[in-house]
Amino acid sequence: MQNICAYNDTLKTKKWHDFHFPAIEITNLPSFSQDESYIFSDLLHQAVKDRTGQDVLKLFLITPDTQSSDHFYMLAYLQDETIFTAEVINTPLFSQWLTTIDRERRKGVEPKSKLYDLASNSLSSRPISRAFAEQIFTHTGEFIDENIPNAFKAEELAQQKIDYITPFINFDSHEDFSLVKQNLTQLVESEGLKIIEPIDNEAIYQQFKTQAGFEFPTILKDFLTLHNGIEKTGFMNAQTILKEWSDWQTPYQKWTQEDLLDTYSSNDGTVLPLYCTPYWIPFFDQGCGNFYAIDLAPNSKGKPGQVISFGADQESGYLQAHSLAELIAGFMHNED
């Protein structure tokens, strides 16, 4: 297809007239129903997929103001890292469905030209000013390049995260396990806690190593020889640790380094200013998606094996204790 072009180094130099915009009709629109307005974006995604055979990663719809133009245009980023371009024929049915996302058209007032970013489950729009119109309709290749989905540059973005965190990775942590054991015994006795009998976790440790690419932390292996969870506390067993660690890999893999980096919160230099990393191993559930974790990639003023707090309610990790023994001791002196 002439209206599908590859994403490459020459794309930035292309102007609007270098792209092909054949007129297409969106034929998969059902009879209009205001109650099903939320499916309009999905229908457009499916229409492009039906024509290209590719999933749509990102879709722009350019709507006119009807005074300067009556043309509707579509720019779609496809799964195979190509860009699909087309003019959309403004059929009566398409015009009806368009009112579900365009308030001005729904109210019957003169609409402004807009750029719609149509995700499969959300949408946003931006008025096309004179300056923005020049960016879209003159420097089209640059506009397309500036808005590429992360999937188009996955390797580059992954390398940015590797380059950032690698200098901080440090598995050389040391802790007095006898003090950990002593403090845990005192905590259990003072609070009347019930320890779940420890089990053989070797298979779980091997599974962790396979997924993470490094060993399960020694201090946690030793700690889990004392328990398999402790009732009515946040201490997790090995299986739960693996699950929670695995779950936190999803945002780390999907987010960019820029997304992960917290540039607003204060930071004392002990913990990396990140939302999450593979080198934070959660072992204590604070509730509501927040955890204490062993830190194997401390910041310049921190030390490997320190205990940090991170989770859903935090933009960044924070130092909680310099060691596991210190954390447990803190529980004994915490009246809450």
Please report the pLDDT score of residue 203 as a whole number: 98
Cα angle: 306, vertex 308, 314; to 5 degrees: 165
| 180 has a pLDDT exceeding 90 | yes
Mean of all residue pLDDT scores within the chain? 94
**C-alpha span between 26 and 90 (Å, rounded):** 9
Give, to the nearest 10 degrees, the angle between helix 177-191 and helix 324-332. 20
Please report the pLDDT score of residue 160 as a whole number: 97
Structural domain boundaries enclosing 79: 4-148
Same domain (yes/no): 187, 315: yes
| 116 has a pLDDT exceeding 50 | yes
Domain end marker among 99, 125, 148: 148
Same domain (yes/no): 75, 167: no
Please report the pLDDT score of residue 35 as a whole number: 67
**C-alpha span between 128 and 58 (Å, rounded):** 19
Same domain (yes/no): 144, 165: no
Same domain (yes/no): 67, 27: yes
Condensed to tens digits (0 to 9), the pLDDT of residues 139-153 reads 999 999 999 999 999
Same domain (yes/no): 144, 172: no
Find all residues with CB under 8 Å of 159, minimum gap 6, and list them: none
Same domain (yes/no): 134, 208: no
DSSP 71: -
**Per-residue confidence band for 292, with pLDDT thresholds at 50, 70 and 90:** very high
Mean pLDDT for 70-85 is 96
| CATH value at residue 231 | 3.40.1580.10
pTM over 0.85: no
Q: Which two tokens stand for residue 72?
A: 């509707």
Please report the pLDDT score of residue 177 as a whole number: 97
Question: Burial level of 128, CB count in 10 A (0-12/13-18/19+)?
Answer: buried
Condensed to tens digits (0 to 9), the pLDDT of residues 18-75 reads 999 999 999 999 998 776 667 899 999 999 999 999 999 999 999 998 666 789 999 9
Please report the pLDDT score of residue 68 as a whole number: 67
Domain end marker among 121, 148, 175: 148
| 321 has a pLDDT exceeding 70 | yes
Max Cα-Cα span within the chain: 79
Condensed to tens digits (0 to 9), the pLDDT of residues 102-115 reads 888 888 788 889 99
Q: What sign does the CA torsion over 9, 10, 16, 22 have?
A: negative
Please report the pLDDT score of residue 302 as a whole number: 97
Same domain (yes/no): 194, 294: yes
**C-alpha span between 90 and 79 (Å, rounded):** 26
Reported in sequence order, the residue ranges of the chain that DSSP labels E, i.e. its strands, are 4-6, 23-24, 56-63, 72-78, 82-88, 114-118, 123-127, 280-287, 290-295, 306-311, 318-321
Condensed to tens digits (0 to 9), the pLDDT of residues 204-253 reads 999 999 999 999 999 999 999 999 999 999 999 999 999 999 999 999 99
Please report the pLDDT score of residue 74 as a whole number: 97
| 335 has a pLDDT exceeding 80 | no
Same domain (yes/no): 173, 223: yes
* Cα distances (Å, whole numbers) of residue 332 to 190, 212, 233, 318: 8, 33, 13, 21
Same domain (yes/no): 144, 163: no
Q: What's the domain count of the chain? A: 2
Domain end marker among 92, 113, 148: 148
Please report the pLDDT score of residue 66 as a whole number: 67
Amino acid symbol at 187? L
For the chain, give the percent of residues with pLDDT over 90. 85
